[in-house]
Amino acid sequence: ASVSELRLLQPAYDGEWLTVETAPAPDDPTGRAFALSLRNEAGAELATLDTRLVTELPPVDERAAMTPAPAREAVPIGWDALRLGEPLCALSWAPTRAEHETWCDAAGDDLALFREGPAPRIQPGKVLQGANDVFRSNFVLNPWIHTGSRLIQRGPLRLGDAVEIRAMPIEKWERKGHQLVTLYVVFLNGGQ
């Protein structure tokens, strides 16, 4: 189990080679916390990830039990369409092996953990993409940027798992002429 904070600072571009620098977190004597930095070829820091392996997770958020909105077609995104505290339509999520391998190939990830066996773990970037997928399945989006995520991983997701993604807008604000939203997203694996 882990708790992670991802901050996306600048965009990365398709085909650009990226370097991940990993270091032990300076405030963790257990050796179970890490600070990662993602840099492009020019050395610009594009993202940071602070992650901790934990033996005790925070309690499950009560919003995980939300009842999703009834299925509907995606609607145009807009300030008024993002209703705080109202669940969005759920998304049944089942990446195929081919989709998953394409994702891993594009990410340059050849770890056996994400590729071998009848039900390999779903690569974490693909899981994060699932959070974007539930947003896109509810709204017709203008160009947008994912700026960060707080992730609590209670267990692995594997190819073939019965996963339902539920989401709810929980905060929205404007800054420097941009509209921002925070979504609470939960991945239910076999109802858990």
Q: By the 8 A CB rule, do 122 and 114 touch? A: yes
What is the structure's pLDDT at 26? 86
What is the structure's pLDDT at 13? 85
DSSP codes, the chain = -EEEEEEE-S---TT---EEEEEE-TT-TTS-EEEEEEE-TT--EEEEEEEEE-SSPPPPPGGGGPPPBPP---EE--GGG--TT---B-EEE---HHHHHHHHHHHT---GGGTSSSSPBPPHHHHHHHHHHHHHHHEE--S----EEEEEESS--BTT--EEEEEEEEEEEEETTEEEEEEEEEEEETT-
What is the structure's pLDDT at 123? 94
What is the structure's pLDDT at 108? 87
| Residues 6 or more apart in contact with residue 84 via CB below 8 angstroms | 169, 170, 171, 172
Q: By the 8 A CB rule, do 18 and 165 touch? A: no
Look at the block and give the residue holding tokens 């066996």. Answer: 117
What is the structure's pLDDT at 181? 96
| pLDDT tens over the chain, length 192 residues | 899 999 999 988 878 888 999 999 988 888 899 999 999 999 999 999 999 999 899 999 999 999 999 999 999 999 999 999 999 999 999 999 999 999 999 888 999 999 999 999 999 999 999 999 999 999 999 888 889 999 999 999 999 999 999 999 999 999 999 999 999 999 999 999
